[in-house]
Structure 1
Amino acid sequence: MKVKPLLLLLSLLTGCAGSPPAEVVQKPRLAALRTELNALDHAPLEQITLPSLRDNYQRLLQDMDDPQLRQNISVRLADLEMMLAEEQIAQAPQLTQALDNAIAGYHQLLTQHPQNQHSAESLYQLAKAYELRGEADNSFTTLQQLVDEFPTSAYLAEVHFRRGEYLYARGQYPAAATAYQQVLAQGDNSNYYLIAAYMLGWAQFKQENYPAALDSFNDLLRQRLPDTLVQGELDVSAQLAALSSGDQRIVEDSLRIMALLFSYQQGPESLRAYFRAAPAQHDVLLYQRLGQLYLNEQRYAEAASVFAGFVAEHPSHSQAPLFFVRQIDTYLLGDFPSLVLPAKQAFVGQYGINGPYWATLDLSSKQIISPYLQQYLDQLARHYHSQARAIPAAQATPQDNSQPKAVELFLQAAQWYQEYVQTFPQTELVEENAFLMAEALLEGGKWQEAITAFESYAYQLTLNPRSAEAGYAALLIYQQQAASQQRSATGQQLSAWQQQWLDSQMAFIQHFANDPRVPDVLYELTQQLYQQQQYSAAIQRATDLLLLVKSLPTERWLSLHQIRANSQFELQQYVLAEQDYLRLCERLPPNDARFAQIDERLAASIYRQGETARQAGRINEAIEHFLRVVGLAPQSQIRVTAQFDAAQLQLSQQQWTQAAALLTDFRQRFTSHALAKGIDEQIIYAYQEAGLWRAAALELEQVWLANQDNEQGRQALWVAAEYFAKDGDSDKALSLTRTYAHKFPQPFDEAIEAMFRMSEFYLASNEPAKRRYWLNKLIQAHGQAGVKATERSRWLAAMSATQFAEDASYAFRQIALTLPLDKALTKKTRAFELAQSKWQQTDSYHVEQFSTLATGQMAALYAQMGADLMTSQRPTNLSQLELEEYEFLLEEQALPFEDEAIKLHEVNVQRCWQGLYNEAISNSFSALKQLLPGRYDKNEIIQEIDNALY
């Protein structure tokens, strides 16, 4: 077969399918390759048109025998016919020949190759060709075949949509709705999702299924305007603006038809109920569209109800204030004057600075609604003020009901003036409205509020000719109301009122310093400031007046200095207070009754300086201040605390001797004072830390004598004995320790230590009998201790038992084996057994130090017994032969003792293998060298090796 120019294209279409070409070109061998480079042909390739490409495929189809290749080429031919048809229709819609060819080609392909891999695409293209030829029914039938035969086709979303369009155009709305729902079932990633959702709503609308239509359009809005953040905020208007123009048209029309549907029902009530059941952020758009729909129809009441409904549902929404404004504007358009003023009042109440939602608004929202607030507030204030003044004063008699009405109107006007001033402090009308507010309050009988308003005008707004008048008006009101307040106000109310009067006086003095009434006001102000505990201000005003008027009367001068000193004290300015108290002492006449009070204050000022220094960690300075109180004001009540605190700080600074002396003096002077409780312990502690053992011991002895039957006394007795011993007073220490040992068997640990100390006292004084008495008490105490026994008590018991064992060993060694030998041996044996039992008792405590000693000593007793037998006195009446036999018998008697001694010594030395070694074990080694020299008395032989090379 000849290779044609379309072979390359065919291979791209068919991949590896089909048979290879007949002619096989042999590749040249490596040696045959030429190294020359051929010139490149830069001529452009021939452009192949769709008709020529189609003709080439038709010729190729005639030459192909492979069924699969023929099928692929047939598919490609049909697609090329479709492409030609679309190209021709675009240029000349009346030409349909190519379209007929495409339809025929797809029919032939589907007939010859049904259910092939390209069938779904062929059906799709066939339906498209029918639609282009205007045969909608055939197109719909083909689409239905595609759905039936290929339910998982990639074209399914578009196919269902086109089916829906066909059915909708023919008024088959239920079937169309089903088709659109099948499009939606393919997922929202489809290009047809949005338009299908839109058409589904229309199909349901056409069926007059309004609830379903609302849901469909609402789902569309949820898909395109989701409840997600846009640039940090949830702004559905921004979401709408971000949509493409096509999507915007669909969304806008969905909003329009939904508004129309709500108008078919109960309008704003239906809208509110719908979004209460299924909240969505885009409901704001529906409220806008429905309200505008009513406005377009001049249905002003319904429009206002829509705007009011949104505000009621979403009062904190950023758009809620603007909806409220549209509600008010709608009342104006609809000519509802009776509703305008209440609506403006409600708007201010809800979104004004004192309303619940002002704080929730962002800056831009506040800027948007501020012009409305400013307008509404000014209108409300002037409306009520003018109404109140319109009521003639002559008619406002106590019997006339117009008076309460006038008062209410004045107060309402004042309220709106006040809110205007608070909200817009920088506007041109603020000064005028502030003064009008004060007047309205005064006219409404609110004296306190009127004072505040006049003071605000005088001292907070820009200074102007009316400022002094406003400030003075406030003082006049205070003066007029003073008597009434004294009669009717409670203590707390009166205090608050006086404070306000003080503040007003202070403000007047500060702002209008050149007024001739200032000095008298200043003196009265100083008195009142001090009474109201405004100490800093009282100090300042007193100082100002002292500097302002040089020739003050004496009593006024004393009063001002006492106010200043007392205020400085209250403000913890103790150095300054001390100075003023000293000035008062110098100026006060002799025998003045105020001296005692000044003395107490002077002492307190110095004491507080000590407290301040103590809190700051300057302890030595604090001690000095406290001692200054003792020296300068010894009769003051605070002197007691000062002396006690000085002693405590000396203790903390380890000034033990000074602290002990100060505490001892305190105990003597103020024995019954509450601070004296526990002072004995502190004195003892100071003596202890100073190393004054005898002084500490004497204090402790007094504690013991006063508390012989309680724990405090027991501890004092114990420590006192210890301190007497440290001071070197052995007799006193011995006496107190003996008392303790006999009186307090518990606690066990200290009881045995007391017994041990007693034994040590008598050891030092060389009184063995008395010492052994206490050693025996130690053994008994340990034996009777039971679970209270300790390692210490066991050691002391072993130590004590050792002494008694040594005594028994000594007695054993003093017995000589003399004639008559039987009597001496009996005595010696008893002593031997006693000594052994004593050492066994020592060993029974299992204290390493004493157990090894006991083992060694028991071995020594056996060795001594054997040696003493061998050196015993011989009978004098024995013959030579009898004497030899006697010696032999002695050896037989002595040998077991020597063997037992060796065993015991070996028990001792074997403890080395357990890691133990002490003097007793060393002595056992030495003894074994004497008893078994062949085993234990060997010298090591050290051989030196000379490694030098010769």
Structure 2
Amino acid sequence: MNRQFMRRLSLAVILISAVPGGSVAAQESFRVELGRDGETLGDMRPVFLKFESRPLPAISPKEVARRYQKLFEKSDEPEVRIDALNRLNNIRDRSGQDIGFSDEQQSAVYEEALASYESILARGSFSGKLDELLYQMAKAHALTGQHEESIQRLRQLMGLYPRSSLVPEARFRIAEAAYNAGEYQEAETGYRQLIEGDGHQDLAMKARYMLGWSQFKQGPAAWNRSAETFMALLDQHLPSEATLLDPPHTGLDMIEDSFRVLALMAARADNSATLAAWLGNRAPVAWPHLLYDRLADLHALEGRFDLAVGINQAFAGNYPEHSAAPDFLAQSVDYWRMAGDTSKAREARADYVARYQSQPKFQELRGQQQALWRDYSRFLGDYHYAAQDWTSAAGYYEVLAGHSGDTGKLLHLAGDARLQAGNRNKALENYRSAAYGARGGGQQRYPDAAEAGWAAIKVLKSTLEESAAGAARGVLAELSSEEQQFGKTFTQDPRLSGLRADLANRWYEVGAYDEALAYARSTLVLESAKTEERYATWLVTARVRQRTGEFGLEERAWRQALLLVDSEPDLATTPDEPEQIREQLATAIYRQGERAAASGDTAVAVAHFQRVNSVVPNTEIAIRARFDASNALLKASEWQTAINELNRFRLDYPAHELTEEVSEKLVYAYHESRQPLKAAGELMAASERAQEPWPLKLRAAALYHQAGELPERNALYMDWLAVAPDPDAAADHVQQQTMRHRLIESGVDSVRQQKAMVTREAASQWHSEETLLWAGKAALALGASVAQEFAAIRLEHPLERALERKQKAMEQAQAYFLEAESFAGETVASEVLYRRAELYRTLAADLMASEVPSELNELEAMQYQMLLEEEAWPLEERAMELHSRNHGRIASQGFDEWIGQSLEALAVMHPGRYDRELRWMSWNMEENEGA
């Protein structure tokens, strides 16, 4: 809408003279100012209209007027004077200049002219046209205040000269006189006749204008006719959009007055409904919005703002696609502001914004309308923001952002409002768009884009803090993605380092070590990273490396963290934090030592273990590291170095629990380094401290045995066998029997040990080939010893007693021999047979050689001797039998010394059979077969 034109039509003050020269009263001119030309509708007056006919002369109008004026004053001829006066008036009208006679002079001039007119009419002779003379006479009467006479002359002109060109103007003057006299129906008839006749077009238009006024003056019953007349007039003056922009200057007053009267009639009727009824059945025209606007202004000027707004709303509703519709809605805002109703003004703004917020609708707005839409949107957004109506504020900011060059700032505000409203997802969307998607008209990034991006990060961090454990990882991934976008876009932002350090910690907490390590690295490469951020990042790096077993890198991270916290103690969150870091550093070094030891890299392992003490001297881990260094040396078979380290460890930490293990490790080292005596000595020393010393002493005994230190060994054997419990396992039985065997071999308490060996073997349920053999030999030795005792018993008188003693000795020897055979079997069978046979042979020989009682006579002595022979003979036979059995073993077992001794015995006992030279030959089957 051309609002400048509307205001021009509404408020212009127009003063138009009807005929130059005459009095003010005769001119009938009016000020057309709404509200000032009458207190009632009946007081309202139309604009007075000018009439003109001829073209001006080529010379100066002022000079021509001067000559006609001089001619009028000097001439005595009525025709000349009248003609001069007519021409003078025409020149004044056409030029628009104040020339000729003054207003005061004109009254006197026309008084004189009337006499000339009367004289000419009386003579009946006039060189000009009589209709013109009548017209001029009517005009002179009008100028001199003789209105009735003026009308009579005009009626006379119409009656005498109905075809005169002056008839239309005369008719107009007659109708005008009726109008001025309040005879509006007569005036309507006159104006209508003029319009329907063949009058001049300009005069017909003026008549139409006055026709509308004549109808208006007749009251509401004629207003519909008046409205149609004024609208037809508007159709003629404003037929197109082009004429709205450049209306005809000559008709501007009539156009304005037409709108004024139409608005007034509608205001006194049914307002917008009346306008809709008037316009509804007419063909579309270009000017209805001006009429609606005039009606709205009328109500607004008279303080009826609600009605004025209603008119605006009605137009926007009836003509929603009209380009002026937005202006009407905007005008409603102005009206409510004029009324002082801020709430209604705000609602009007909201209505305006809502109607045109879609992209297609917004694009239909003209430039100023779009600017106004933006102003309203921003106003409403700011208002709701201040009122803490966050959702509404955000909505306005978001819509405005789509139609503004300040998109980033608006979306930032929208994000803040959405966040306040609790809509984090929408806030995130707005912040992200403000930070990364918004550009101004010059494609420049929003100046505070970094702040918007940071706001999105803060939203995600807040969401992360409130997330349940199961959802935290997903939010953390989203936060990381946001950080990557922020870091890529705002590479120099000083907050990046803190954010990345925080993300490193958070990823570590959820067990995502690769992500934690990546963020730790990205923090440390930033020159802007603060000391506390570097410190936190090194801590995360150290913990990740610890988790992944990268102990060398872990050590480096702990060292960096320790350097920082030592230089700035305030970095520590607890007083003991630096000490904890040192312990972690020591542990990392220790783990490297363990790994190197496991891989067989002893030198590296020992070096790592020994470095621990330099970090945390004499702490538990340092002590264990020294101990493990010794173990590594042992594992690497570096015996002497390990021995030295172990001895130093025992000297340095005599009360430490690990010191209890040193002795065992030294024993191992001594043993492996072929120092059994030192190993045995270590065991003996340890046994003195042990609650159960014998396991250590027995091991020492074994080492003494290995070293050939038999006295020390045998002493331990003797002590142990003196207190050892009965064996409850095969190993215990074998161990004890072995000790007895070795004691027997060493000649230490042999008989007792032999007896114990035999007894234990006979009673035991566990046997081995060795123990059985040892027991068998012990039994043989015992039997041989008893056999010597048996042989030494002389058969003296009383023979029975001596024989009884000898018999017991023989039975005991026999028992040992049989026991030996039961233990050792074939191994000792030849010797057992031999020794058993010898017992019989010895007893037989001793019987034969026994002393004959002295009290016997010779015969008795011979009988006694024969009796002894009878007793000795079975014994000798038994001896021969046993030796023969031994001899028979040659075929199955081969020849041995005990079979040989049996053969020697048989040769003595049976020389005819066995006393011969023998030659033992080996038998070779292959040689014999080839012989």
So what's the TM-score if we normalise by structure 2?
0.44
Instruction: Report 1 or 2 for greater relative contact order, CA contacts < 8 Å, sequence distance ≥ 6.
Output: 2
So what's the TM-score if we normalise by structure 1?
0.43
Which protein is bigger by CA-based radius of gyration?
2
